[in-house]
Structure 1
Amino acid sequence: MDIDLISKALANPTRRQILAWLKNPQQYLCEEQCGGFSRGVCAGNIEKLGKVSQSTMSNHLSVLQQSGLIQAEKYGQWSYFSRNETLIQQYIEHLQQAL
């Protein structure tokens, strides 16, 4: 776990919002239109929520993925993202102990 990399990823409000969307996608997206959330949330749906360009959202998702906070799975031409709950919990525990 790279504490600095995670902290830098979380410094951006859009990336924190992405993590919130992925935590409870049914609050923000229609499950039927997304084909369910068992695989995670499709990058295109995250992009629509963020109301930013595809390249900007791709960059945000890449930073989150490099930090380990999210995971991606490809299904055909689509990428689905989900939270890495184990790492998020480890990060929270580290902050509680260190600060």
Structure 2
Amino acid sequence: MNIEIFRYMDIENAIAALNNPIRRRILEWLKDRSNFPPALPEHADLEGVCVGYIQEKAGLSQSTVSNYMGLLKQAGLVTAERHGQWTFYRRNEANIQVFLKAVQDELSKT
């Protein structure tokens, strides 16, 4: 696959995922774990935030938040880790930086 086409497709997926103010807010909230209640003792050593906490903060239904997190994950902006019945999400900082650089490069072309 042509690397430019692949890069373009990644940019498009990320832009589509970010084309919603709540999804952008979720990414903002995930930047600082203190935006959410403390983790349960059995989850204290895990990175990320339980989807239930994200749902509570967003004030949206479980299905909507799950859909939003799926889109952010598919775009590579977050990672998900399953522990029993719980799914924990965190930002994928490396991919976010790659996305920002790709957008900058694309918009800077002469």
TM-score (norm 2): 0.81
Aligned residues: 98
CA distance in 2, matches of 1:75, 1:33: 13
Shift of 1:25: 2.3
2:51 touches 2:88 (CA, 8 Å); kept in 1?
yes
Question: What is the root-mean-square deviation of aligned Cα atoms in Å?
Answer: 1.7
CA distance in 1, matches of 2:15, 2:39: 34
Structure 2: which 5+ runs fail to align?
1-6
1:31 touches 1:37 (CA, 8 Å); kept in 2?
no
Structure 1: which 5+ runs fail to align?
none
CA distance in 2, matches of 1:32, 1:70: 18
CA distance in 2, matches of 1:33, 1:20: 22
* Percent of aligned positions that are identical: 41
1:30 is aligned, of 29, 32, 37, to 37
Shift of 1:58: 0.7
Shift of 1:38: 3.9
1:25 touches 1:37 (CA, 8 Å); kept in 2?
no
